[in-house]
Structure 1
Amino acid sequence: MSKFSKAIVLPAPWRGDRKIQSVSKWHCTGHAVRGDGAGACMQGESKLEMDHQAIQFATPDVADVIEQVRFYYGWDNEKEHTFDMLLTKTSGVRVACTVKPTARLASGKFVEHMQVVAWWVQKKKFASAVRLLTEADIDPITLHNANLNAAVRDKDPDAEAAVRAVACKLHGAISIKTLTDEVGLKDCGYRAILRMLSKRELQAVHHEQTTPQTLITWKGPQS
């Protein structure tokens, strides 16, 4: 337990409308805790879904993600589609997402189905947009860094303040390792730097997998 924790805090319960299916030989299922601090319980019916969840939680303008959200449509609400994710942006805009591997789209039938669903989403003002996400929408670098961010979500205010005191005086780029050494808190400082990268207080110079050699610059607290 962190020295900053007064007690163990459990993650928020799962919020979806539909429980994921049981494991079978045709697909995998996943459970994760995502979000800052204690986080929230999340489910997914494939690695592809779990990867997209990880990326959305690491996206700066995404304020909330709920998975397995039912949408009823048709003139008498007689039809149903379950969105794999419902995103709420920091602007308040909602985006309904369905995740499917490209192999499942070859016949074109599912795309036609989603075109109908998207029309009803607009008609009923359920969301501002509908997105169909596949493996082609996953950038391996973004996914790697999103998973790295998730591993260091526990806050350490003292370490972050120490990093901030050094980083705000930077002129130009510095490697994560060099900044860690200058802060002088070893692992605590390194993890604080990674958290501040995820919050965009620090920014990588290049789009690359984050390592101790990654060059970063100071941006400051983001509103």
Structure 2
Amino acid sequence: MNMPIERSLNAPVTPVGRDLSGMPEAFRRAYGATKAFPDDLMGEVIREDYPVLAYRGQRRINPRSRSSCRIFAVYPDLETGLPRIYGMDSGIEHGNLVVTLVDPRVRQVQEQFGPVKFRKPDGTKGTHYFDLLITHKTGRRVAVAVKPTSRLASGRFLAELEQIRRAVVPGLVDEVRLVTEQCFSRTAAMNAATYLRFALCPDTEADARLEETVAKLEGELTIADLIILSRTGSRGFRAVYRAIFERRLGLVSSGSINLHSIVRRPQ
């Protein structure tokens, strides 16, 4: 004889709601009132109101696309330090841009550089816009074409790029460079983008406290310990991030920069 089916086993279970509104009060009763470390920097940093520089690309970016993303980001302009709108056609372009902006050898960048007229391999006329024009502090100019590796398998774009290179080197630029998603890591791009956002809002008070502490450092420690040691409070992480990219603090560990990353005084 078959046992009757227990239908309640398959019935949907409605979770019982939990009221968490009293948790902060319960924590205070159990552990006491929480407060910042003594002499920590308090309050938020307010940036002065600066005008945002307009997009400088020589080709209009259509914000609508079904096959790729469109990114308009505000990062510092390398020459003026003012916030500036950068426009990109894809995530790979964005990654290449941010790692270029944090390169100390670079003086200025421009997106969507062109138009460049060239002769295609079949003899017809073509027009091309480079995704980025990099001007180094030495004066060297590098035109960058960004493409995912999946678009290079046929060899068609590589053949066109060679014709484009012949049309612009050395008249307009010193070098033509091809960049794919394999030319930089996502972690490096994420770290660079985070620094560029923090650089838009400088904090001289936190930076000064951090610099005093770093000057006395011996050995290595985590970013969390450095924030406590420098008494920079909630503003310390941004100050440490800026110090790492501005070569005022050495980064020992690799990967995504976080509170557990190891740092030391620069050599």
Classify the TM-score, shorter chain.
0.7 to 0.9
CA deviations 1:59-88 (Å, max 9, x no partner) are 22222221011043459xx75320101112
Identity of aligned residues (%): 27
The 8 Å contact of residues 95 and 186 in structure 2, kept in 1 or not, is answered as: no
TM-score, normalised relative to structure 2: 0.74
The 8 Å contact of residues 141 and 207 in structure 1, kept in 2 or not, is answered as: no
Kindly indicate whether residue 240 of structure 2 is the aligned counterpart of residue 193 of structure 1.
Answer: yes
Q: Look up the match of 2:187.
A: 141
> Equivalent of 1:120, from 167, 192, 203?
167
Deviation at 1:58, TM superposition (A): 2.1
CA deviations 1:164-187 (Å, max 9, x no partner) are 011012122221111100111212
TM-score, normalised relative to structure 1: 0.88
> Equivalent of 2:223, from 163, 168, 176?
176
Q: How does 1:22-41 map to 2 (within 5 A)?
A: 22-35=63-76, 38-41=82-85
**SS of the counterpart of 1:48?**
helix
**SS of the counterpart of 1:55?**
helix
> Equivalent of 2:60, from 7, 19, 26?
19
State the one-letter code of the partner of 1:144: M
Q: Distance in 2 between matches of 1:202 and 1:140?
A: 22
* Stretches (4+) displaced over 6 A: none
Q: Distance in 2 between matches of 1:16 and 1:161?
A: 37
Deviation at 1:188, TM superposition (A): 1.3
Higher relative contact order (CA 8 A, sep 6+): 2
Q: Look up the match of 2:15.
A: none
The 8 Å contact of residues 65 and 87 in structure 1, kept in 2 or not, is answered as: yes
Deviation at 1:4, TM superposition (A): 5.5
Q: Look up the match of 2:138.
A: 91
The 8 Å contact of residues 116 and 164 in structure 2, kept in 1 or not, is answered as: no
Structure 1 residue ranges without an equivalent (≥5): none
Q: Which has the larger radius of gyration?
A: 2
Deviation at 1:142, TM superposition (A): 0.8
Q: Distance in 1 between matches of 2:235 and 2:56?
A: 32
Q: Look up the match of 2:204.
A: 157
Q: Distance in 2 between matches of 1:109 and 1:204?
A: 42
Structure 2 residue ranges without an equivalent (≥5): 1-43, 120-124
State the one-letter code of the partner of 1:53: L
